[in-house]
Amino acid sequence: MNQQTIAKSVELTGTGLHKGVPVTMRLEPLSAGRGIEIYRKDKNVYIPVNHKYVVDTKMATVIGKDGVRVSTIEHLLSAVYSYGIDNLLIVLDNDEVPIMDGSAASYCMLLDEAGIKEQNRPKRVLKVKKSVRVEDGEKFAQLNPSDGMVFDFTIDFSHPVIGREYLRFNFTKEAYLEEIARARTFGFLKEVQYLRSIGLARGGSLENAVVLDDNRVLNSEGLRYPDEFVRHKILDAIGDISLAGMPIMGEYRAFAGSHALNHALVSKLLSSQENYEIIEAKNQESRVLSYAFASS
């Protein structure tokens, strides 16, 4: 299977979650071997989309270089990864990716509009060779060797609407579009009020997040999936592990995972060459990837 970029440039405008300011995002094709890059047009700085440039993981995954940052990249990257895109330039005129509806659905529509273009260089894939695990108390995230691409996630919130949710997701682009892409980010009213008090979440609203008080979902339309919360955590995990820089063949497992744990996991995986190998997708790997990233 060969590397892919988008067939033509596309653009969308939205609002940043934290500052609440308008942001225009343009996606442009990039030549084979370049990978994914962000260009902050207003600062004239290029930031490689790679785990080495992650500068913050508290509220969202944030990358930065030379003091220039871009926040909340994970939902966009999740869509880009799921479309099997290897090379892409993301041009932004502010420091956040537009949050849209809090899921990856708008980015998927944008990528559908752009179309996929095959390039004349083999796709590279990262195969997990040895299990790698990071923990924070009872929370953990782990990558295990596997011939497929699997995301296995459990959350456990002491909240009447959420509770314990578990999903094992065998990744394909088609399954992603149906089962994961529309799952929105979520937050608790108490936290939103606190974040507002410190100048964050200014763009946050019921338009771009599921918001819960102590007992119920406040959005009048309710949930998009009965277990939307764990599905969104898988959406996040896909975006976060894409910062390894290429598709990962392996099994991801997490309990109460977070952006911080996902970042620590990717960094640990790549810290020793005993943990992984990078191969050009030929024969068996190529079949797995072609199936995973196929368009209907």
Q: Which residues participate in catalysis according to the annotation? A: 259
| β-strand pairing of 248-255 with 124-128 | parallel
Q: How far is the CB of 3 from Zn ion (least distance, A)?
A: 27
Minimum CB distance to Zn ion smaller for 72 or for 94: 72
64's CB contacts (< 8 A; 6+ apart) are 47, 53, 55, 56, 70
Q: How far apart are CA 100 and CA 60, in angstroms?
A: 15
Binding range to Zn ion, per CB under 5 A, among 31-39, 204-212, 234-242, 285-293: 234-242
> Based on the number of CB atoms within 10 Å of its own CB, is 92 exposed (0-12), middle (13-18) or buried (19 or more)?
buried
C-alpha separations of 289 from 136, 150, 292 in Å: 32, 13, 5
Instruction: Tell me the closest approach of the beta carbon of residue 259 to Zn ion, in angstroms.
Output: 8
Pick between residue 51 and residue 259 the one whose CB is nearest to Zn ion.
259
Stretch binding Zn ion (CB under 5 A), from 141-149, 159-167, 236-244, 260-268 = 236-244
Rg (CA), the chain: 18
The reply to whether 236 sits near Zn ion by the rule CB under 5 A is yes
Of 15 and 185, nearer to Zn ion (C-beta) is 185
Contact range with Zn ion by CB under 5 A, out of 111-119, 202-210, 230-238, 242-250:
230-238
Q: Please give the DSSP secondary-structure letter assigned to residue 51.
A: G
Number of chain residues interacting with Zn ion (CB under 5 A):
2
Of the listed pieces 133-141, 160-168, 232-240, 275-283, which binds Zn ion according to CB under 5 A? 232-240
Least distance between Zn ion and beta carbon 185 (Å): 4
Site residues for Zn ion, window 168-187 (CB under 5 A)? Answer: 185
CB nearer Zn ion, residue 83 or residue 276 = 83
Closest contact distance (angstroms) between CB of 204 and Zn ion is: 12
Nearest in space to 252 (alpha carbons), one of 157, 168, 139: 168
Closest Cα partner for 272 from 149, 89, 141, 143? Answer: 143
What binding mask, one character per residue, do residues 130-169 give for Zn ion by CB under 5 A, x or -? ----------------------------------------
Residue 101 or 280 having the CB closest to Zn ion: 101
Whole-number minimum distance, CB 44 to Zn ion, in Å?
29
DSSP labels, 94-156:
SSB---TTSSSHHHHHHHHHH-EEEEEEE-EEEEE-S-EEEEETTEEEEEE--SSEEEEEEEE
Rounded CA-CA distance 133/136 in Å is 10
Residues of this chain that bind Zn ion (CB under 5 A): 185, 236
